Structure 1
């Protein structure tokens, strides 16, 4: 198995929204805001190469929205999904599977592209994988979350015939095993949004977990530092506590989708609770 980091660029979000009820005097030390109270965040994806499969976990914000939409998010940096794939010798057409942790626009926007007046899959030869419960949640969104679930990112996947559900023909479980390939597990968490998936696998004698939005960054390690974007913050708090205790005990490698500086770390137990260890690149594992 080979794992590759796929950087798709950076964007900005309000610091208060990203850190919830935590005072700015605290979170600003961790991720300093600009003059507009905006912090920089990565959109870092993962490519899994195994057994003839090329599995892309999430795909960033994409480029099909209009200028008004992008004006809110201040995209910057030189990285793009296509450029990152090309650096590895791959093209979008080589991707066999796209595993979507959840359907918020900054995680799945690259799934669909515009071809003239048509919205079509960006990965023409890939199967797109979601969770059936999350799909229902995203396609009939609540008023608070509907701005994150953009129909142009979601509905064309189903219309293409390339959509599959990881939980098809499985009993309801918070742990889905052998997803797409043997050994790839998806943990389900429900605080950020219903049925978000955290891909987990064994890599170089370590357990590696793709954190999606359970832990967007190393700055979110303190249990009470929960995003205002989370639908069920108390559930997030409980999920974080249980996961971090397990991860620290097991020496898990955590892969961060949104941390602008730290790609991976191994959590450590300290007198202040579980905190991130020294950061490192996936390529250096």
Structure 2
């Protein structure tokens, strides 16, 4: 737990999985990335799904939900998922029930970020958090629901269409305030409607990077995933976010990093970024 002004921020797990290292690091040669992220004999590396619970006296906000509980055994195997879905148990350990979450902000609608937004109950797929407003970027929603394979092929409709059917969907744009102290930043890059989340209070701040910075190793300027739809945009916005975090001593969340889920960023005199694992 860290305190960001009036916000208590806890990192909670949306699951763990194994993922192809070549996809995770894109154009970076394995001879380089394996020095910081060793892979197994199938080229797989273990990753987290780090979600964020932010609470103050008024609001209980969850950022991303992990993979959820709907996936079939075959899908779980193909994604290399670890057993179970720990998110609800970890929320319960913090004294938070699904009914108490009033906002769920989704960085984007890929299965490992939005799968837990809905659950299957008695054969029906319904929102996991019955009292929550689910916050999705407008462009992201348009692409995910377009029906065009080129745009919607990476999405699972059961993860998000029930949110609209239940009347719990809120579409937002760049720099829109979700609740006082929390706003979304449309980054593009990974998907056209990908959004980061900024939490600020009393001069303190935290940025949930989503897949703009999936692991702390992606602090390197040119390291991006193969899934990024607009590689140049990812590189540009990543630099902007890292500069902003470094200049303001804001913490950042690396949502797929098992070892360093949160850190601060220092700016080297030669303008090379350094990860700081200690939160000051």
**After TM superposition, is the score higher than 0.5?**
yes
Contact preservation (8 Å) 1:217, 1:259: yes
Structure 2 CA distance for partners of 1:274 and 1:251, relative to 1, 3 Å: farther
Query: How many residue pairs end up in the alignment?
Result: 274
Contact preservation (8 Å) 2:118, 2:128: yes
Q: Deviations over 1:238-265 (max 9, x none)?
A: 1112222222222221111111110211
Equivalent residue for 2:255?
257
Equivalent residue for 2:170?
164
Structure 2 CA distance for partners of 1:208 and 1:274, relative to 1, 3 Å: farther
Equivalent residue for 1:226?
224
Q: Deviations over 1:43-68 (max 9, x none)?
A: 01111112422111110001111111
Runs of at least 4 residues off by over 4 Å: none
Equivalent residue for 2:265?
267
Equivalent residue for 1:201?
199
Q: The residue matched to 2:126 in structure 1 has which SS? A: strand
Q: The residue matched to 2:139 in structure 1 has which SS? A: helix
Offset of residue 77 of structure 1: 6.6
- Please give the alpha-carbon distance, in whole angstroms, between the structure 1 residues aligned to 2:118 and 2:216: 30
Contact preservation (8 Å) 2:8, 2:54: yes
Q: Deviations over 1:127-179 (max 9, x none)?
A: 11112221101112653564431011121111111111234xxxxxx422x32
Equivalent residue for 2:44?
38
Residue 66 in structure 1 maps to residue 64 in structure 2: no
1:152 to 158, 161, 164: 158
Contact preservation (8 Å) 1:245, 1:274: no
1:240 to 220, 224, 238: 238
- Please give the alpha-carbon distance, in whole angstroms, between the structure 2 residues aligned to 1:142 and 1:4: 37
RMSD: 1.9
- Gaps (5+ residues) in structure 1? 168-173
Offset of residue 217 of structure 1: 0.8
- Please give the alpha-carbon distance, in whole angstroms, between the structure 2 residues aligned to 1:279 and 1:204: 22
- Please give the alpha-carbon distance, in whole angstroms, between the structure 1 residues aligned to 2:147 and 2:29: 29
* Worse-matched range after superposition: 90-99 or 69-78: 69-78
Q: The residue matched to 1:241 in structure 2 has which SS? A: helix
Contact preservation (8 Å) 2:266, 2:276: no
- Please give the alpha-carbon distance, in whole angstroms, between the structure 2 residues aligned to 1:47 and 1:200: 13
Equivalent residue for 2:215?
217
